[in-house]
Amino acid sequence: MLFTTLLQVSLVSTFPVDSIPLLRDSLRQDVIITAIRSSENAPFTQSILNKKAIESNYHGADLPYVLHESPSIISQSDAGNGFGYSYFRLRGIDFTRINFNINGIPINDPENHGFFSNNFADLASSASSIQIQRGVGTSGNGTAPIAGSVNLSTQDVRDPQFSKLTLGYGSFDSRRITLEHNTGINPSSKFGVYARASLLSSDGFRRNSGSNMKTFFFSGGYFGKKGQLKFNVFGGSSESQLSYYAVSKSVLESDYRTNFNSPRERDAFQQFFYQLQYDYKVSNRINLSAMGYYIQGTAPKFTYDAFNNFPDPLYYEYYNLPDPSGTPFSTSSNFLVNYRLDQANWGAMAIGNYKTSKLNATIGLHANSFKADHFMEVLDADAFPSGYKTGHIAYFNTGFKRELSTFLKLNYVIFDKISLFTDAQIRYTDFSYDYRKQPILVESGSDNLNWLFFNLKVGMNVAVSSKISAYSSFGITSREPARLDMFQGGDYASNQITKNNIPKAETVRNLEIGLKYKNENVNFALNVYAMEFRNEIAATGSLNNFGYYLRQNVDESYRRGFEAEISVRFLKKFTFKNSTNISINKIKSYKQSFLIKDSLGNKTFDIQGNVVSKEETFTNVTPVLTPNFSTYNSISYQPNSIFSFELIGRFVGEMYLDNTQNKDLTTPAYFVSDLKVEVKLEKITKLNSYIRLSVNNIFDTKYYTSGTPSNWINRNTNGIETRFTESNYFVGALRNVMVTAGIKF
């Protein structure tokens, strides 16, 4: 799969450092994080996971499973248990349209906009806080936040010195080893270091869905009175057995752990991230920051079975193989191929902040240049011509992506209670494509494509009292199509790419209105939202050969809903949490093409050799994998300083697998419960130590997290047509256990 894989270490922080005398006169906050994140009184819908919440949610599974206590977030994984390829959707919108950054650095793949969490294995161990903005939020860098953004801050080297060892073991032979060390700041040298090394592995819940991840995380920095120089480098490798095919309900009823990917289908990826940042405090009002970063990623292998439907001998031409001499074949051949990827990503940004008692102004500039080689090797096949050699290159192409953006954010306080906010961003991006080798049957070429967007947000926050605040905001954001959208799900251009034949850029107009209340025992946030789309690049429900959802433009669509996030502490020892989404989500008009197959289930072709299909139009349909109701509830009990217990229940309503509103193509609603038990061992070990037991899906419920449709028209020899529909699902793991032990000294 395509990655912009970063595994970031950081020295940045959003916490006060008054307790460290050396730093009293230095920068209190990282300027870049402050610029990208929405402040607490900004008029946007947001949730914060602090260090304690992150540690409570995390047991080794990928980041989406840390986030899913926040409203409107639904997580899933290919393997079923959260190890390996895991994803999340926000308000029903997938991860390619959610901006993800670590310490202000954009980490979505510039070409395909995705964030791949298995490239960040064990990043949660180094996370100090995570902010989830829902809706268009504030301006960031990289992929435009159509659904929202996730802003993660990592361990601050300025924290007191510590060493920590964390070990975990659980179901499906899941293992975790994490070793961390933080030096704190040396008073004489003003230098400090934080480092982490991690090993994680799991066999996965589904058959042949194992993963093995090795990552490291290093940061060092010099902290003077007015300036800070920070260097971060992190990276690692991941190896996974592929499990991205959904399985039909009839098969799952007999074997719930079925994986249609073969054992020989697997991948390996490596990525490394480098960051150099300098912050300077000009005065009590002015802070400046500059940063450069470089990301290098490679895919040594992505091996999968390519089932070719071309009649022989055309498949030889398609894969640039020489024709077999004198030996015609009556059936098409299946290939074992190796998809390869080499990426290089350079970027730089500069931020300036001016702050008085009334005005907070931030200006930012970001530039990025990205290059990715995509190529495929043919490894094996049912039949090959003479002279074939393993590693034959079927195609080789290169994508180039550049971005230049600038933003200005202003927050002004009037009457000491009302904050007025505006955020304007100009963003330019372009894409070009070149190839050394293409399939012979494919005509290809590329114009240099470019887009210029003006994104605007305005809002107001009112502090009604010390405990109550209300806000309202309106924003407009646009985003260009991803490479896979332009290539219609393929990894090479199958026709001339011009602005006339690629998906249009999508635009969302987003209104957010919210109310917040907070006291010692009660904390709640309520909001309503309306997201009105034009030319939304919406998922169709089908997957391409790499497991990505195919997408196409729809003229008009919307997502409108209500969200609640509540935390109540009662009887001193109990805490209740709830996050809920209730929404109405529609695509006003959707065109679906259905394949016409013969009585044997084969595609049919017209006299010109084109695949025969029939197009139908559907109106006011619910978008793919967007439930109208979802909720997360937990109740925790802490009887004393040693023991704590938490019971969690997650409910997700019915979801459609395509955009035809067909009740036969849905995931049933599901409810899953988890249990967490933690024992603190300080009194026994005399050190900060604990043992945590996580029992996931305690009632052993079978449930489906997402899926894909089978939906076509059968035409018999008499020309009579009948509709065939079948739901194919990705499953959640049955009851499973993870035991984690940590010691900090």
pLDDT tens for residues 389-411? 677 788 899 999 999 999 999 99
- How is residue 428 written in tokens? 């330019």
Q: pLDDT category, 114, cuts 50, 70, 90?
A: confident
Residue-level pLDDT at 384: 61
* Host domain of residue 70: 21-356+368-744
- How is residue 342 written in tokens? 């080499």
Q: Is residue 592 a part of any domain in this protein? A: yes
Q: Of the spans 10-24, 172-186, 677-691, which averages the highest pLDDT?
A: 172-186
Identity of residue 147: A
CA distances from 594 to 489, 581, 599, 615, 660 (A): 17, 33, 15, 6, 11
Residue-level pLDDT at 500: 78
- How is residue 254 written in tokens? 């007999």
Higher pLDDT, 671 or 544: 671
CA atoms within 13 A on the CB side of 630: 24
Q: pLDDT category, 718, cuts 50, 70, 90?
A: confident
Q: Is residue 190 a part of any domain in this protein? A: yes
Q: Is residue 382 a part of any domain in this protein? A: yes
- How is residue 459 written in tokens? 């809002």
Average pLDDT over residues 8-18: 32
Residue-level pLDDT at 324: 52
CA dist., res. 657 & res. 708, Å (int) = 6
Flag whether pLDDT at 21 surpasses 80.
Answer: no
Identity of residue 604: T
Average pLDDT over residues 662-668: 95
Identity of residue 744: K
CA dist., res. 75 & res. 514, Å (int) = 25
Percentage of residues in the chain having pLDDT higher than 70: 90
The secondary structure of 467-491, three-state, reads CEEEEEEEEEEEECCCHHHHCCCCC
Residue-level pLDDT at 3: 32
Percentage of residues in the chain having pLDDT higher than 90: 67
User: Domain total for the chain?
Assistant: 1
Q: Is residue 258 a part of any domain in this protein? A: yes
Q: Hey, which residues does 643 pair with through a beta bridge?
A: 679
Q: Is residue 642 a part of any domain in this protein? A: yes
- How is residue 163 written in tokens? 């060493």
Phi-psi region of 488 (alpha: psi -120 to 50; beta: other; left: phi over 0): left
Q: Is residue 533 a part of any domain in this protein? A: yes
Q: pLDDT category, 574, cuts 50, 70, 90?
A: very high
Average pLDDT over the chain reads 88
Locate all alpha helices (DSSP H) within 218-297, ordered by sequence.
249-254
Q: Is residue 234 a part of any domain in this protein? A: yes
The secondary structure of 695-724, three-state, reads EECCCCCCCEEEEEEEEEEEECCCCCEEEE
Q: Hey, which residues does 531 pair with through a beta bridge?
A: 510, 559
Q: Is the dihedral of CA 277, 341, 479, 138 positive or negative?
A: negative
Q: What is the CATH number of the domain that holds 493?
A: 2.40.170.20
Whether residue 423 contacts residue 104, with contact meaning beta carbons closer than 8 Å, is answered with: no
| Long-range contacts of the stretch 597-605 (C-beta < 8 A, 24+) | 597/712, 597/713, 597/714, 597/715, 597/724, 598/714, 598/715, 598/716, 599/714, 599/715, 599/716, 599/717, 601/714, 603/309, 604/715
- How is residue 265 written in tokens? 């289908």
Residue-level pLDDT at 283: 93
Residue-level pLDDT at 20: 34
Residue-level pLDDT at 493: 84
Flag whether pLDDT at 524 surpasses 60.
Answer: yes
Asked whether the bond before 313 is cis by omega within 30 degrees of 0, the reply is: yes
Q: Is the pTM of this model over 0.85?
A: yes
Q: Hey, which residues does 112 pair with through a beta bridge?
A: none
Q: Is residue 3 a part of any domain in this protein? A: no
